[in-house]
A and B are shown apart, each in its own frame.
Chain A
């Protein structure tokens, strides 16, 4: 089984709708990172969460970290076609600031 599980694997939403993507770890999290990737391109850094209960927002995207549940969620409010892409969570599980373990990604499509 994966060390980092994302759900759902894919998501199709109507423009203007809200959505949530979850990322659950099987190990202790020392840092949780959210990235967005367009097909075949590099990863764009969105947010970094390090402390339990931490919540960060950037434009219409909000990410939270639940340290006890070893889980993070990414919430998009009033989705737009520009939000479409693959969302990846990456985790530092050994507190050495190097190796990131990634989930398999959530593919988001936004229908106009």
Chain B
């Protein structure tokens, strides 16, 4: 039973470039969330996708966008990269069940470094 998988594991970009990160949810999950984790901090919620639509969004600029595909996998795109975007980007998946909260399961993340 494969867990949440993310690619790539590491990425180095320069300021102003664009990046795409990918995530495959755990088998049986239909909802994907993305988080940004700076060094020494807890993860910060970017957005969540369900039924190929953005369902919730955190306090991140429009440079951060996403997509969910029919197979539930997801992409996170970041445009016009800034030095401050350097972080560990975590993908989490869960299953949406009416009237029931389910835990989110996390991937190992993509370490993004901006030079």
Contacts and interface: CB of A to CB of B under 8 A. Distances in A.
Contacts of B40: 104-105
A98 B102 contact: no
Interface string A1-37: 0001000000000000000000000000011010100
Interface stretch (B14-22, B61-69, B70-78, B103-111): B103-111
Interface residues of A, number: 26
B110 to A, nearest CB: 10
B81 to A, nearest CB: 20
A99 B56 contact: yes
Interface string A73-99: 000000000000000101010001111
Interface residues of B, number: 29
Nearest to B42: A102
A10 B42 CA distance: 14
Contact of B90 (A33, A43, A92): A43
Contacts, number: 67
Central interface residue in B42, B43, B92, B105, by most chain A CB within 10 Å: B42
B101 A97 contact: yes
A92 B96 CA distance: 14
Given A88-B42, A98-B33, A104-B42, A45 B108 contact: no
A99 B48 contact: yes
Nearest to A34: B103
A98 B103 contact: no
A98 B55 contact: yes
Interface of B: 4, 31, 33, 35, 40-45, 48, 55-56, 58, 88, 90, 92, 94, 96, 101-109, 111
Interface of A: 4, 30-31, 33, 35, 40-45, 48, 50, 88, 90, 92, 96-105
7 contacts: A41-B108, A42-B108, A45-B104, A90-B42, A92-B101, A100-B35, A100-B43
Given A4-B42, A99-B45, A100-B43, 5 more contacts: A43-B90, A90-B43, A90-B104, A99-B48, A103-B42
